[in-house]
Amino acid sequence: MNVLFVCVGNTCRSPMAEAVLRKKLKERNIKTVKARSAGLSATDGKEMNPLAKAVLKENAVSFRGFRAARFNAEAEAWADVIICMTKDLAALIGGKKTTDFSALYGVKEVFDPYGGTIEDYREAFAIIDCACEMLADEISERYKKDKKSNNHAEAKK
């Protein structure tokens, strides 16, 4: 399964979501799910915002090697699900595999902290962390069911 997080510039919200989900999947020992991020107006290769980096560090979330990427047809084709930071972004992209955190889990939309204070980034992180926890739990449950189904199929052989 491939999860693509999308925001505008791909330097704040979506890379934080990518890093947070990767950490949560690693903690659950789930290796079959991949996470990436992109931005509708991103400049390819741009570094993550320093305040986003600071908040990830505060929460012991690794983001090594991150570089921004523009949302394009390749990214869209790669993704099994596209999770946008707001309903408006999801509406712009459209399609059956596009949604947003608030629609999935009833959390607040992840407002854009760009240009704001460290507290704005912490607030965005808190929403992302909560939503990614629920997403990782959902993925973990599916993973357990798939593993159980595969074990039953193998036992019948």
pLDDT digit string, tens, across residues 79-118: 999 999 999 999 999 999 999 999 999 999 999 999 999 9
**What is this structure's pTM?**
0.93
* Residues 65, 62, 10, 138, CA torsion sign: positive
Here the CATH number for the domain that contains residue 126 is 3.40.50.2300
Q: Are the CB atoms for 39 and 11 separated by under 8 Å? A: yes
As for how many domains the chain has, the answer is 1
pLDDT digit string, tens, across residues 21-67: 999 999 999 999 999 999 999 999 999 999 999 999 999 999 999 99
Q: Are the CB atoms for 113 and 51 separated by under 8 Å? A: yes
Q: Domain of 105?
A: 2-156
Give residues with Cβ within 8 angstroms of 64, minimum separation 6. Answer: none
